[in-house]
Structure formats: structure tokens, C-alpha cells
């Protein structure tokens, strides 16, 4: 048995054969990777993150994810832990070390390590964490072919949902509630009855008149990278998208509903709160959007 001593706990641990992480300049076996007990990401969720899909060993929407990472860090006044060019090299080395063909890279940047105090001190060195893992390709294909089930849930998040913060407790509670009810996603609804987004997705509807609608960008929703690329792909195809608020009731009466995220592309919702959406199968618009998105994302990706 291949055992080693953890530098964090002092207990022998089994070494993984092919799983690697990256923490602050070091490539580490996944089971050995960790952060200081007083890292502000651990203590206060004082951190941001990104998730980038890997398809055929290519990172999808890489520049767009880095754009959003830099924006989130600026909003929280956390410096970039390293420049884009070396960070991209780390991405590719992590993909190589983990032997990934299809999967995800998870990146997290925290404000750094400091004695626990609510007020953030200046001059901290950010903590950079990256992990990578394969995805269940068969499950992704099944979701796209058959669609998913969703429930509605009150939106109880903070007022800056446009920042991709790791402070995700309301999201995790909503997602857990969905899973307990046999659903894939929780669609969040604000106090006025308007849909904001999903617990981990952006939400779109196709009205009975064929209008493609998604909520307009504001502090209320995350500016999704897949959302952004879909707008570009739709513009190429001369498909019009309307950005506006829509209610839960409008969603339930829509011809189609679909969700977008880095790990999903465009995936149809076929049932919401036990109400069938359309013909209870992925509709033609959501399927076309997925095809347009996949084509553009693949054309933009680089090895």
C-alpha cells in the first residue's frame, strides 16, 4: 500500500495514483493538498472561484472565464495571484497530470492567510487553488437528450450575486432541497415572484410566441460565461434574445425552459414544480442553442 504522511494532519494517508491539485505554486497529490487553517477563504468565504469545462483536452471559454475571474477579484479588491499566461500553463499541466480528456478545472482564489478578524487586512498574498476531475459524460448526454426536472425555491442570497464568490450556502441549501425532491436544479425566485437564476445555472425561457428570454444582467444574477457565449452564437445565427425579468408563472407556462452553465451547455427543463414544460421533452430552440453554443465554443478553444 502506497502511504505517506500528511503535512497537515500527521496521519498516514493513501496516495492517489493519478489525481493532482495545485496550491500556491506546488503540484500536490490531491489527498495532500490543503490550505492554512486561518486562510480567509476557509474562515469567511473571502474568495472567488471559476469552473472551466474540458472537452477533448481543450479548455472551453477559457478567456471568458479569466475575464470574469479578474472582474470578481477587482470587485473584492483581491489581486490576481498570477498573470494569465503562466496561469494558462498551470491549467494545461494540471490537465496533463490528471490525464483528463473530458472534465472540469476548478479554480479558487482567496484573499490569503491572516489572523482571524472580520476586517480584511491589506497586503495579503492571495491563495491560489486548482483541482481537476473527469465528468460523467454519459450523464451529460442523458440530461441533454431527456432534459431535467427543477423545483422553484426562494432566492435567499446576498445582494452581489454578480460576483462569483465561494459564499454559496443559500445555493447549496436550495440545491439540496431540489435533490431531496428528486429534481436536478432549484430555480430561484425573488420576493416579487421573478425568477433570478438557478442555484448553479442561468435560466432561460422560450415563450408561447417563440421569444427567447433570459434575465438581464444586474447585481441579482451571475454573468454566466456560457450565457455570454450563447449571446455571441445566437447573434451569428441571427437569433434574437430578450433580456428582461420574467415571473415563475410565466416560466411554468413557457413553451421551453433551459439552463446554462459551463458543465451543462444548454440543458432543457422538462418539469418545473411537478408541471410539465412543453411536451415534457427538450424543445427545438434549446436543442438549437446547445448546438450553436457547442460549435462556437469549440471554434474558440485552444489546446
Give me the active site residues, please.
164
Report d(CA 229, CA 28) in Å as an integer: 33
DSSP 31: G
- Tally Cβ neighbours within 10 Å of residue 229: 22
Establish how many alpha carbons lie within 13 A of residue 153's alpha carbon, considering only the half-sphere containing its beta carbon: 27
Would you report the helix, strand and coil content of the chain in percent, each value rounded to 5? 30, 30, 40
Residues 6+ apart with CB under 8 A from 282: 144, 145, 146, 147, 256, 258, 268, 270
Report d(CA 249, CA 238) in Å as an integer: 28
3-state SS track over 241-255: EEECCCEHHHHHCCC
Report d(CA 182, CA 29) in Å as an integer: 35
Residue (of 223, 188, 266) closest to 65 by Cα position: 223
Amino acid at each position: 500500500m502506497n502511504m505517506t504522511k500528511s503535512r497537515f494532519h500527521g496521519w498516514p494517508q493513501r496516495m492517489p495514483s493519478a489525481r493532482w491539485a495545485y496550491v500556491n505554486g506546488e503540484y500536490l497529490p490531491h489527498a495532500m493538498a490543503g490550505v492554512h487553517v486561518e486562510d480567509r477563504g476557509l474562515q469567511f468565504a473571502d474568495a472567488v472561484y471559476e469552473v472551466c469545462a474540458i472537452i477533448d483536452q481543450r479548455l472551453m471559454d477559457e478567456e471568458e472565464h479569466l475575464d470574469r475571474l479578474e472582474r470578481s477579484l477587482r470587485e473584492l479588491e483581491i489581486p490576481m495571484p498570477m498573470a494569465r499566461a503562466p496561469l494558462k500553463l498551470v491549467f494545461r499541466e494540471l490537465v496533463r497530470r490528471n490525464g483528463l480528456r473530458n472534465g472540469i478545472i476548478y479554480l479558487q482564489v482567496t484573499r490569503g492567510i491572516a489572523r482571524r478578524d472580520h476586517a480584511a487586512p491589506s497586503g495579503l498574498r492571495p491563495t491560489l487553488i486548482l483541482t481537476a476531475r473527469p465528468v460523467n459524460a454519459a450523464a451529460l448526454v442523458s440530461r441533454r437528450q431527456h432534459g431535467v426536472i427543477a423545483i422553484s425555491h426562494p432566492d435567499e442570497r446576498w445582494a452581489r450575486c454578480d460576483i462569483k464568490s465561494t459564499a454559496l450556502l443559500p445555493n447549496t441549501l436550495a440545491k439540496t432541497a431540489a435533490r431531496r425532491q428528486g429534481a436536478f436544479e432549484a430555480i430561484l425566485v425573488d420576493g416579487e415572484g421573478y425568477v433570478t437564476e438557478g442555484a448553479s445555472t442561468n435560466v432561460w425561457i422560450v415563450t408561447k410566441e417563440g421569444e427567447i428570454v433570459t434575465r438581464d444582467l444586474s447585481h441579482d444574477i451571475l454573468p454566466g460565461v456560457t450565457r455570454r457565449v450563447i449571446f455571441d452564437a445566437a447573434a451569428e445565427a441571427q437569433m434574437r434574445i430578450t433580456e428582461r425579468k420574467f415571473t415563475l408563472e410565466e416560466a411554468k407556462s413557457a413553451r421551453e425552459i433551459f439552463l446554462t452553465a459551463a458543465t451543462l451547455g444548454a440543458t432543457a427543463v422538462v418539469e418545473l414544480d411537478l408541471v410539465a414544460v412543453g411536451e415534457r421533452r427538450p424543445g427545438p430552440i434549446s436543442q438549437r442553442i446547445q448546438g450553436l453554443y457547442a460549435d462556437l465554443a469549440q471554434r474558440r478553444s485552444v489546446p
